[in-house]
Structure 1
Amino acid sequence: MNRLFPGLSRLSGYRGQDLVSDVVAGAILAVLLVPQAMAYAQLAGFPPETGLYTAIAPAFLYALFGTSNHVSVGPVALASILAGDAAARSGLPLMQAAEIVALETGIMLLCLGALGLGRLVNFVSEPVLLGFLAAIAILIGVSQLGALLGLEAERGGTLISMIDGLLAAPGGIDGWTLAIGAAALALLLLADRFAEIVLWRMGVHPPWRTALAKSVPFLVMVLAAVAAALVPNVATVERPPSSLPPISLPPLDPQPWISLLPASAIIAIVIFVTGTAVAKSLAGRNRQALSSSGESIALGAASVASGLTGGFVPGVSLSRSALANESGAKTSFSSAFAALIVLGVLLTLAGPLSLLPEAALAALVMSAVAGLVKWDEIRSVFRHSRLEAAIIVLTFGATLLLGIQWGLGIGALAGIAGFLWASSLPRVTRLGYQEEAHHYRSVDRDEVEVNSLPVLVLRIDRSLFFGNVGRCEDELLRLIAKHPDARCLLIDMKGVNDIDASGLAMLERLVSNLEEKDLNVGFAVLKRPLQRSFERSLELRPCNIYEDVEKGVEAMRAECRKRDRSDVTELMASNRVAGY
């Protein structure tokens, strides 16, 4: 039972002190969660109460199924804009589309977790995610400009359509709305940068320092609501209903489910990849075990619960998860307690919530998405690889210009194509002995000479598969042709971790052709799986295999000397027979 419901295992040894810590952390979480939930609903284009619904049921499901003690599941900017974009494109009623997307996303995540197929999402590479998230941050920011400026702009799925919607919006910029939104944005950015520093200098200690710093957005929303009440024509959110989240059943018509399936698949991938990244980060920080399959099941259950209770697709919030950790939460029950507080706010404070200006919520969204652009990691990729840097740029541009779904799809395909291209170009290099290091090193990289002749040493630096064996064979033959005086070839296989049937066939062909030309072939540093493959090959089985390159060179040199002496003996014998 505990394996199926990891949350139940936390009850074992759960003490009163742990309960107090989780309640306090949950209260701190709720202060940030309430305005964020309404802001992210506005970002998606959904009614404000849907954000609050998304903050309730998913938190309870994650507390039951989740394997992390600090992950906060609920409305997040990334999942919100993805769900809103999918719903807007569907042509269906918004909340009906949102429900289907949440259910489909949840079912996919449940299947991934149950079948242990979470590793499939690893085909979305880190450069693809970096470019995708950077573009999403810009799209989110631009999408909120209408509310910040007091314009009723149409939603768009691309950067160009969003800008066109802003330019075509009726009326003009509302000064008071802009003033309130700009002031809220400035305060939020300043608080994010300096609040904890100021509190530290004031002598406030953790966890209260973190709690107060993260409460600033709530205070800013209160001040914005007061300001909006004092000036005319500032748009505020609709009053949410003071009721429990509604239980709704999805439509039975299969057509909308089929049409929304591609969007749901993309959302499932993004939620799982970003969510497990947050969970792994916190698990490593706290030295806790984490199950990726368990996380997939927990996120899937949370998404299904959200779809059935009037919400949209939830995700894992990095800021709220870090807040739970820093606030002293002992288990994921802290998020469940936060959800209870959100439910209480929904039932009793719906009126005050309707005073929140849309511009302030837009400012809250814009201040939160800055973290989606990971500048340090992007710069690191640009320094590391031009190919992966190009993938970042391609994904970034495709997402901005073609839309979210096309952007991630093109980026994923580009990442796979980049991997296949790099894998199809195996590096084959000549080795020479370096006296200072007492080791064989690359002739091209380490400026050493080919000093092992008559034994020529070549190294293959990549696993061999059908896509690169042709290039590998060409490189081997090209380097062999440079040394016509070589009598033995030693192939260093240290960099070859795997080999398929095409790779074996290439090596068999190479050995057969070279031995016909009186060039003896041996292998060094052959890993155990490759040794088993060689033992099953009739052509490769007779080849000598050496523990390291040094021993291989010595043995093959000795073989050459032995052959030389044998040749001399045979020549002398033949001369005696001829009477010389």
Structure 2
Amino acid sequence: MDRFFPILEWLGNYKKGYFFSDLIAGLTVGIILIPQGMAYAMIAGLPPVYGLYASLLPVLMYVFLGTSRQVAVGPVAMDSLLVAASLGTLAITGIENYIAMVIVLTFLVGAIQITLGLFKMGFLVNYLSRPVISGFTSAAALIIIFTQLKHLLGVKIPGSSAFHELIMNAFVKIAETNLYDLLIGVLGILIIILLKKVNKKIPSILVVVILGIASVYYLNLEQFGVKLVGFVPSGLPSFQMPGINMQLVSELWPMALAIAMVGYLEAISIGKAMEEKAGEETIEPNQELMALGSSNIVGSFFQAYPITASFSRSAINGDAGAKTNLAAFFSIIMVVATLLFLTPIFYYLPNAVLASIIMVSVFKLIDIGYAKQLWIHRKDEFFVLLITFLATLSIGIKEGILIGVLISLLLMVYRTSNPHFAVLGQIKGTDYFKNINRFEEDVVLQEDLLIVRFDAQLYFANASYFKKELFKHINAKGIALKGVILNAEAINYIDSTAANMLKKVILELQEKGVRFYIAGAIGPTRDIIFSSGIIHLVQRENLFVKTKAAVAYFNNPEITEGLGVKIAHQNKTYSN
């Protein structure tokens, strides 16, 4: 039961001293969660109250099922933008229909995450490399910031997931700017930034919210056209079945898959960062999928939209001293109290204040420092980041991350199809065999022997490259060559295409009177050498544990390796 309900593990070992830390952390996060949740709901195109709905049952489910002790889940900017971008491509009329579609999308996100968790597919997130994520999140942050210009300027600006269209739409509407909205928004941004610089523990977001509500109420700013959140329905969300049908599922599942994967990646990356800081490893990737999936499915029955881990709130949660997931329970209590008693106050909250909160919160997602590092040290990965960034800005959110993943996979295929191929020589006075290009003056070479190392798995994509490189060096040796030793230490797999290629190479060398040896093959590779029939051409006596043994045997075939021979020949099929 501990595996399915991680709460049982930490609750059984809960210490009294944890309670106060969890209480303070939970209340601190709750103070941030309420205005942030309302702001992020606006990014998703939903009424602000839906951000509070997403901060209740989904968060409670994570308390029971989540494996991280410090992660704070709930509405986040990235998922909110993905929801808006996903549904923005569909012809939806009326806010009620839009909300219904969001709820169905939330259910599908949860169902996909649970399915991936059940089939232990958490490893799929590894295909979202860091350059792709950095490029995507930086572009998404810019798009989020510019989608908030309509609230900052107090004008109606058509939305778009393409950055250039957002800029053009905003430029056209600049003349209609409400200066009161602009002043409120700019002051909100400045206050949040300044308070964070003074002391990070000051709840700057709460301060801005209180100042915004008070200024509207006491100065009667509504009469000057300041746009307000307006009526926020009180009470807890009611139970409603999502209106699921096959047509909706066929339309929404690709978008749901993107949100599910990005949300999972956020949760895992944030959770790992929090673990490293806390010095305690508790995250189990597939259980995290189950936890997030359950949170989203249950949330869809109570009018929530997709949730995941929050960068900012998780950091605040950890800094405030959270010890367990119980901290999230106290955050939920604050949200419940707000929905039951405080919603009338939020009528006077300016949209420009929420826009300022969003802009400051997402700005830190723009990671220029990482891009600079890649430009200096990893230019190929920098271009993956740049292409993802530009595609996300110019084409769209979903398309950007898809293009980034494809480019990243193409780079991986290119690298594995053109891996490092080294010619080895013996370091003078030692038994070490190293790359002759790195140790030119310190290696001893034999004219009649070629030693090579291939630093990758040998498969269909690099088989021809291996053969081309091998024969390039064989031809360079000329007629003096009598033996070739393949150092196979880095080869962890040989597929059928590569095995056939290798057999042809060995036969071709034997016809020229050149003997072929294999040294350092690991267990799985030895199994393939035997099962594929390569062993019938190489012969057992030409299989060695170490390169130095192969060299010694080439120079004097009377030498045997004793136990080393037995190890070199050991395999699943033909073990001695």
**TM-score normalised to the size of structure 1?**
0.90
2:260 to 252, 259, 268: 268
Alignment of 1:109 onto 2:113: yes
Cα root mean square deviation, aligned? 1.9
The 8 Å contact of residues 131 and 384 in structure 2, kept in 1 or not, is answered as yes
Name which of structure 1's ranges 376-385 and 93-102 shifts more when overlaid on structure 2.
Answer: 376-385
Number of the residue aligned with 2:38: 38
Secondary structure of the residue that 2:450 maps to in structure 1? strand
- Can you list the C-alpha shifts for 1:275-300, whole angstroms capped at 9, x where unaligned? 11111222233322221011011011
Among all aligned residue pairs of Structure 1 and Structure 2, give the percentage whose two residues are the same amino acid.
Answer: 27
CA distance in structure 2 between the aligned counterparts of 1:490 and 1:254, rounded to whole angstroms: 60
- Can you list the C-alpha shifts for 1:198-252, whole angstroms capped at 9, x where unaligned? xxxxxxxxxxxxxx33x12101221122233423221111221111112221114
1:454-533 to structure 2, matched below 5 A, reads 454-484=448-478, 485-533=480-528
1:121-270 to structure 2, matched below 5 A, reads 121-169=125-173, 172-196=176-200, 212-213=201-202, 215-229=203-217, 230=219, 231=221, 232-270=224-262
Number of the residue aligned with 2:11: 11
Shift of residue 468 of structure 1?
Answer: 0.7
Number of the residue aligned with 2:412: 419
CA distance in structure 1 between the aligned counterparts of 2:529 and 2:13, rounded to whole angstroms: 55
1:355 to 348, 353, 360: 348
Runs of at least 5 residues in structure 1 that lack an aligned partner in the other structure: 197-211, 562-580
Number of the residue aligned with 2:320: 327
Q: Segments of 4+ in structure 1 off by > 6 A? A: none
The 8 Å contact of residues 525 and 549 in structure 1, kept in 2 or not, is answered as yes
Alignment of 1:49 onto 2:49: yes
Name which of structure 1's ranges 240-249 and 369-378 shifts more when overlaid on structure 2.
Answer: 369-378
Letter in 2 for 1:403: G
CA distance in structure 2 between the aligned counterparts of 1:194 and 1:439, rounded to whole angstroms: 58
Number of the residue aligned with 2:573: none
Shift of residue 43 of structure 1?
Answer: 1.6
Number of the residue aligned with 1:294: 287
Shift of residue 543 of structure 1?
Answer: 5.5
Count residues with an aligned counterpart: 545
Secondary structure of the residue that 1:459 maps to in structure 2? strand
Number of the residue aligned with 1:565: none
The 8 Å contact of residues 39 and 48 in structure 2, kept in 1 or not, is answered as yes
Shift of residue 255 of structure 1?
Answer: 1.2
Secondary structure of the residue that 1:297 maps to in structure 2? helix
Secondary structure of the residue that 1:349 maps to in structure 2? helix
Shift of residue 450 of structure 1?
Answer: 6.3
The 8 Å contact of residues 521 and 543 in structure 1, kept in 2 or not, is answered as no
1:41-120 to structure 2, matched below 5 A, reads 41-92=41-92, 93-120=97-124
Secondary structure of the residue that 1:94 maps to in structure 2? helix
CA distance in structure 1 between the aligned counterparts of 2:262 and 2:11, rounded to whole angstroms: 31
The 8 Å contact of residues 132 and 399 in structure 1, kept in 2 or not, is answered as yes
Letter in 1 for 2:405: A
CA distance in structure 1 between the aligned counterparts of 2:449 and 2:244, rounded to whole angstroms: 73
Q: In the superposition, relative to structure 1, how do residues 192 and 450 fare at CA in structure 2: closer, same or farther (>3 Å)?
A: farther
CA distance in structure 1 between the aligned counterparts of 2:356 and 2:430, rounded to whole angstroms: 60
Shift of residue 373 of structure 1?
Answer: 2.0
Number of the residue aligned with 1:200: none
**TM-score normalised to the size of structure 2?**
0.91
Q: Highest Rg: 1 or 2? A: 1
Number of the residue aligned with 1:451: 445
The 8 Å contact of residues 230 and 349 in structure 2, kept in 1 or not, is answered as no
- Can you list the C-alpha shifts for 1:121-146, whole angstroms capped at 9, x where unaligned? 22222211111111101111111112
Q: In the superposition, relative to structure 1, how do residues 138 and 436 fare at CA in structure 2: closer, same or farther (>3 Å)?
A: farther
Shift of residue 187 of structure 1?
Answer: 1.8
